[in-house]
A and B are shown apart, each in its own frame.
Chain A
Amino acid sequence: MEERDWTDRPLAWDAVIATPTCRVTRQQSGYQSLVSGDLAAGLTVLAPGAAMIGFAETPAGADYAIRIARDRALLVTQSPPAREAGWQAEGVALSPAGECYACLALSGTGAMALLAQGLTSAPPTGSPSAALRFAGLTVLVTGAPHGCLLWVDPASLSYVTGFLSRLTGGAPAPDAASS
């Protein structure tokens, strides 16, 4: 079987994909954990004060939960949750998820328009779930003060940043030593 020449790389930490109205950069996220079950109880126990956000909503605090499904969310916290992984008595399942998602920041007035180019329809409005299909993958989209954040599984990061750079017509800056 012929081997293709896989020269694409995930976007380096200090690299930028730029268009006149949007910049794409990698962003560090807090600790990620998957939480399922009684989400209200879960948040109270694992991240008091954290709010749940849906599609393209901007979190209010440093700790927040991104709603994925009726009973599942991605908890993003500044420090690891104090509980052990597994079943919690409150009716909540907790899995520390390391970097289950890599985070790309899309900043600028053109952020949502750039996102829309990877969708098959205009972005949903008011969906309680932040998960949707982008460029053939399931991703999460949350809001940010200057645009939005795209949460992508790390194995697909090369593909997504390659896809975004094709959309904008811009190539990512030559990568420094990748993290």
Chain B
Amino acid sequence: MQRFPCPFCGPRDETEFHFAVEAGHARPEPAGAVSDAAWAAYLYEAASPKGTTREVWLHLTCGEYFLLTRDTLTRAVNASEPLPGVAP
């Protein structure tokens, strides 16, 4: 039962959270200028690193999407921060 820190609510059990997506993949736009390969990469390719990773998670109880930096090998949680532009 991991513990994740929601930037607003504080540390909560992992069952309150939902993994959204690996961070750092900007949505390719406009659709007319995006190749099939680039769109497929956006949908389906993730780096899935062994070690430190940066991910977007959703805290279900407050509804906030945020960034979580964690280690996929040790499952240590390094940091959490709100999405860019949000005052912590």
Contact = CB atoms under 8 A, between A and B. Distances in A.
Interface of A: 68-70, 72, 119-121, 124, 126-129, 131-133, 138
Given A132-B16, A133-B15, A133-B16, A69 B10 contact: no
Contacts of A129: 6, 8-9, 61-62
In the A-B complex, the 4 residue pairs with the closest CB atoms: A69-B62, A131-B61, A129-B9, A70-B8
Nearest to A55: B9
Nearest to B6: A129
A119 B1 CA distance: 12
Contacts of B9: 124, 127-129, 131
A120 B13 contact: yes
Contacts of B61: 68, 129, 131-133, 138
The binding surface of chain A is classed by DSSP as: loop
Interface residues of B, number: 18
A95 to B, nearest CB: 14
Contacts of B16: 132-133
Interface of B: 1, 3, 6, 8-13, 15-16, 60-64, 82, 86
B64 A69 contact: yes
Contacts of A126: 10
Contacts of B1: 120-121
B60 A133 contact: yes
Contacts of B60: 133, 138
A69 B12 contact: no
B62 A121 contact: no
A87 B60 CA distance: 25
Given A70-B8, A72-B63, A120-B13, 9 more contacts: A68-B61, A69-B8, A69-B63, A121-B13, A124-B10, A128-B8, A129-B6, A129-B8, A129-B61
A69 B10 CA distance: 11
B63 A128 contact: no
A46 to B, nearest CB: 21
B67 to A, nearest CB: 14
A69 B7 CA distance: 11
Contact of B62 (A119, A124, A131): A131
B62 A70 contact: yes
Nearest to B62: A69
